[in-house]
Amino acid sequence: MDSLCRRFEGKVVLVTGAARGIGLAVATAFAKEGAVLAVNDVSEENLRGAIAAIREISPKSMSYRADITKADEVCEMVDMVGRDLQCVDILVNNAGTALPTGTLDISEQEWDRVMSINLKGAFLVSQRVIALMIDKKRKGNVVMMGSLSGKMGGVATGLHYSVSKGGLIVMARQLAREFAKFGINVNAVAPSFADADMLRDLKLEGKKEELAKMNVIPRLATPDDVANAVLFLSSESSSFITGETINVAGGRLMD
């Protein structure tokens, strides 16, 4: 049991968008199992609180403020992680944004913003981290934070969100095919509505019971539910799984 509880002893884990919500839950879960965290977020203020909490569990963890939509900031961040912590063993592309705008009301600027954060950012970080893994000759894992919306279309989120999350699922598949020869596994998780910050951002707190009824298991996902799936896909227990997407959806979609 002790070995299970320290599955990631000595591993370096980079989590983007990790200062709150699901990202913070994922980073905290890795820290509790022995990992050293490289915690990223665009908000310096939120990042300070997050890294303080994580260092109480994993003292060697570091924080890195960077806007993942900007290639130069991504390159600088990953280079700094490489210098500070030697390598990245596990990358969790969690950073994202969700907006409820109806299709006919989405502006070009809003479309570009959602795509840039959710899809372009994951590409830029994955590209740089995978190059570092290969350079260091280290096997690794990459996990994309998809969404059930990326498979089914959104219920309360806009078209741009659904398309970006569907793109992450396809990105995971192609990266899995391309980099398996280097010992790098790439997968995704697809949560349904989770009781986290994004639900509040979408102003859906008053509809929790209604949303929960969409699931076979009649409750919302918790951030820990999602974190558990991410940790599984990052562990030796999933070493023969790549290019897959695990639904964390209480049975709402069975595919």
Task: Cite the active site residues.
Answer: 161
- Structure token pair of residue 48: 């300070």
Compute the chain's Rg from CA coordinates.
Answer: 17
Inter-residue contact 148 to 249 (CB < 8 Å): yes
Between CA 88 and CA 102 the distance in angstroms is 38
CA distances to 1, 60, 129, 191 from 93, in Å: 29, 21, 11, 14
Report phi then psi at 221, rounded to 5: -65, 150
In the chain the first and final C-alpha atoms are separated, in Å, by: 32
Which of 76, 37, 80 has its CA nearest to residue 59?
Answer: 37
Instruction: Work out the widest C-alpha separation in the chain, in whole angstroms.
Output: 54
AA identity, residue 7 = R
Placement of tokens 């979609």 in the chain: 253
